[in-house]
Chains A and B, each alone.
Chain A
């Protein structure tokens, strides 16, 4: 398949024959400005720097002759005829590192249940290991199972040879059942990575809030370890939510980090404790705990959300109510292979 490189962010993706550039970009998590989606409005105009495209059904009024001569095309209509480089109206991100995506093989060095339904996996890599930004994910290829399964990296980039993944058992899920039931220590796993644009925008130097739901702790764990190792000086708050105390993994680790770092705060919250649970901490959903902790005002901070879609949505609503908006909200939705397509959205928000 031909590849498409998007400047100025430098991301390279694959585009299937007959697939439009816009479709390929959006599916790969690269947001391009767009509106009508069928070649009439011109909102998604990009410049072709190298390579060749077929303009598809672009309207002669939305993509003028002089623009075709000048190398412009409409991403929503254009298809690739060769490997191509485009420049689009997207912001360069000084916090993004350009790391080539590659295929890797890891050996399962350790596996351990870290909550009643989350399996921790530690994969040993040979050689230089995996270079990645804290918060990114990898796509696992599981034997005999169609497609790939995405898992965020829970370890710090300072350990490129030992990659930590957290796998929640999805009821009825084929991929997670295989990892839980079949995979043994010493087995090999193929994966592709690093992927995703969920990483800390530390250049903004703002206080950071992490909202993690259940197994959504994985990315925040890696990000916080990395930040503290690098000596990030602004306040960092981690709110981790689970149903019961036993669902909150790595509590000891975070309490220890809280003792060692003045700028780090750890707030676990349980939403549905049972009668025999011993719990003295926050009760309720993680966004409710955040509202109490910040007295409903989040402006001036940056927030990172990671977890299931319902938790993300509730978190975004709470943050926006507290006057924190899209430019300071970053998220990684944990969708399972069985999750339905997203519901219809308006073009009001780009990524949240």
Chain B
């Protein structure tokens, strides 16, 4: 008699927990040395409920077919000069920001989930971490392969891993992830799997992937589809992990709340790059940052935190600040890039009339009053041949590492900064959110590698801008400066000659 076919659940159990064993000649605490020092108490690892049941054999089949489909699109893009189908060469700056800032994080995620796959004591969670580790490696590779087509024709993409480690604005995403990977295993799960991949993921994924779809970048769209079924697994892992921690012991609740507060604010600050991309860098806009924040955080996050209240978890501290700042944040971020585009591996540009009209419509309470006059002044200066570049070095926030250009809540004319003292030194942060994070672990953040400090200390190739840019591997005159007058603009206009009328780029 043939035995009854195993159910999905039984099969998954046999392939995962069924492969686990209890150590006998080593102590459990020695085998899993990171499991206890964060203060998280786990009484019953078997109470972990696997949020998805994908066995390794099925996983390989899946990913193989996904890759066949994705690489077919990438090949066709290469054969058919797919770069000519995008809305405008300015769109590529969003892609540059993505490969410089996000793709290396996928690799870091791959490495750290591999670490969790070794070091978490529960077998179910270890297998989930192992699968996610492989997902992240695949995402990193497929992003590189997808975007490498653009590297043949466009600037600023050629040395993204090197730039990720050195450039001032890329230290924002890099230090974010370094913070997570240098934390314990449970804080990492709460930070990356829950706060980032669950609570804030749509604010990263939707703008980039929809932005690609709206702007004719079919290869990146296809990458997005190929990653989405992985991302949904990552989201459910984050949700299940937090639920598990909260249910295992009530002493875990305040620890998890502290991490949610911290990583909400860290993630929100990181997303200022994405928000700027949405409001300023997509030739054809998807939605404004303000609209995205309302839909994906205020509504979806509101429902989540209403449910989490049953566990004694409240909304992240300073969520009210993020809400109050949503009409200001992206304009201030774009201002930073416009000021320092001579030191960036991407372009900025004058905000034209159609784009300003769109911004007035999306930000009726803030744009016309506070930001439009600034852009008009900058345009006037540029037309007089005095395009403004900030040749000083900005002070950076010790935690988020963003130049201190954000303003006080309710007072858009005053720069917000806070000061903490630690070990006889003064440390500056950009907000109450970042100050709280610093003050909770000053020993950690006092060690931050701050690009501006490093330049002053002589650690970045020299004392002059060209020397620092060489050390960054920025191809000067091509990767940096305004789009207007760039080799990229010249090439794009040449390609477009006779293909279609030159359309002023801006709003929908």
Residues of A within 8 A of B (CB): 8, 33, 35-36, 40-43, 59-62, 64-66, 87, 89, 91, 316-317, 320-321, 323, 325, 343-349
Let me know if B9 and A89 touch, CB within 8 A. yes
> Given the complex, which residues of A lie within 8 Å of B66, measured CB to CB?
61, 64
Neighbour of B307 across the interface among A8, A65, A348, CB < 8 A = A348
Neighbour of B232 across the interface among A41, A87, A316, A321, CB < 8 A = A41
- Does B65 have its Cβ within 8 Å of any Cβ on chain A? yes
> Given the complex, which residues of B lie within 8 Å of A323, measured CB to CB?
247, 250
> Given the complex, which residues of A lie within 8 Å of B225, measured CB to CB?
40, 59, 61
- Does B80 have its Cβ within 8 Å of any Cβ on chain A? no
> Given the complex, which residues of A lie within 8 Å of B239, measured CB to CB?
347-348
List 10 A–B pairs whose Cβ atoms lie within 8 Å, in order of A's numbering.
A36-B232, A43-B52, A61-B66, A61-B69, A61-B226, A316-B310, A344-B302, A345-B303, A345-B306, A347-B239
- Does B8 have its Cβ within 8 Å of any Cβ on chain A? yes
For A318, the closest partner residue in chain B by CB is B310
Let me know if B229 and A40 touch, CB within 8 A. yes
For B8, the closest partner residue in chain A by CB is A89
Neighbour of A8 across the interface among B7, B236, B299, CB < 8 A = B7
18 additional A-B pairs beyond A64-B65, A346-B307, A348-B243, beta carbons within 8 Å, are A41-B231, A42-B232, A43-B232, A59-B225, A61-B228, A62-B229, A64-B66, A66-B65, A317-B309, A321-B312, A344-B303, A345-B303, A346-B306, A347-B239, A348-B304, A348-B307, A348-B308, A349-B307
Let me know if A66 and B308 touch, CB within 8 A. no
> Given the complex, which residues of A lie within 8 Å of B9, measured CB to CB?
89, 91
- Does B235 have its Cβ within 8 Å of any Cβ on chain A? yes
- Taking CB atoms and an 8 Å cut-off, the chain B residues in 288-322 that contact chain A are 299-300, 302-304, 306-312
**Chain B interface helix/strand/loop/mixed:** helix
Let me know if A43 and B65 touch, CB within 8 A. no
Complex-state Cα separation, A41 to B52, whole angstroms = 12
> Given the complex, which residues of B lie within 8 Å of A62, measured CB to CB?
228-229
Complex-state Cα separation, A60 to B236, whole angstroms = 21
Return A312 CB to nearest CB of chain B, in Å.
12
Complex-state Cα separation, A316 to B311, whole angstroms = 10
- Does B119 have its Cβ within 8 Å of any Cβ on chain A? no
> Given the complex, which residues of A lie within 8 Å of B235, measured CB to CB?
35
Q: Which size class do B's interface residues fall under?
A: 35 or more
Complex-state Cα separation, A345 to B233, whole angstroms = 19
> Given the complex, which residues of A lie within 8 Å of B304, measured CB to CB?
346, 348
Return B432 CB to nearest CB of chain A, in Å.
27
- Does B61 have its Cβ within 8 Å of any Cβ on chain A? yes
- Does B62 have its Cβ within 8 Å of any Cβ on chain A? yes
- Does B453 have its Cβ within 8 Å of any Cβ on chain A? no
Complex-state Cα separation, A41 to B243, whole angstroms = 21
- Does B53 have its Cβ within 8 Å of any Cβ on chain A? yes
Complex-state Cα separation, A192 to B126, whole angstroms = 47
Return B7 CB to nearest CB of chain A, in Å.
7
> Given the complex, which residues of A lie within 8 Å of B302, measured CB to CB?
344
Let me know if B307 and A42 touch, CB within 8 A. no
Q: Given contacts A64-B62, A323-B250, A348-B239, is CB(A40)–CB(B228) below 8 Å?
A: yes
Complex-state Cα separation, A320 to B310, whole angstroms = 6
> Given the complex, which residues of B lie within 8 Å of A345, measured CB to CB?
303, 306-307
Complex-state Cα separation, A349 to B311, whole angstroms = 12
- Taking CB atoms and an 8 Å cut-off, the chain B residues in 325-366 that contact chain A are none
Complex-state Cα separation, A59 to B66, whole angstroms = 11
Nearest 3 interchain pairs by C-beta: A41-B232, A346-B304, A42-B229
Let me know if A41 and B228 touch, CB within 8 A. yes
Complex-state Cα separation, A106 to B82, whole angstroms = 71
For B225, the closest partner residue in chain A by CB is A61
> Given the complex, which residues of B lie within 8 Å of A41, measured CB to CB?
228-229, 231-232
- Taking CB atoms and an 8 Å cut-off, the chain B residues in 1-37 that contact chain A are 7-9
Q: Given contacts A320-B310, A344-B303, is CB(A60)–CB(B228) below 8 Å?
A: no
Complex-state Cα separation, A8 to B7, whole angstroms = 9
Let me know if A346 and B300 touch, CB within 8 A. yes
Let me know if A61 and B229 touch, CB within 8 A. yes
Complex-state Cα separation, A62 to B231, whole angstroms = 11
Interface centre among B9, B233, B310, B312 (most CB of A within 10 A): B310
For A7, the closest partner residue in chain B by CB is B7
Return A139 CB to nearest CB of chain B, in Å.
30
Complex-state Cα separation, A345 to B300, whole angstroms = 8
Return A49 CB to nearest CB of chain B, in Å.
11
Let me know if B61 and A66 touch, CB within 8 A. yes
Let me know if A35 and B228 touch, CB within 8 A. no
> Given the complex, which residues of B lie within 8 Å of A61, measured CB to CB?
66, 69, 225-226, 228-229
Complex-state Cα separation, A33 to B243, whole angstroms = 16
> Given the complex, which residues of B lie within 8 Å of A8, measured CB to CB?
7
Return A202 CB to nearest CB of chain B, in Å.
21
Complex-state Cα separation, A60 to B69, whole angstroms = 9
> Given the complex, which residues of B lie within 8 Å of A66, measured CB to CB?
61, 65
Return B210 CB to nearest CB of chain A, in Å.
13
Complex-state Cα separation, A65 to B312, whole angstroms = 44
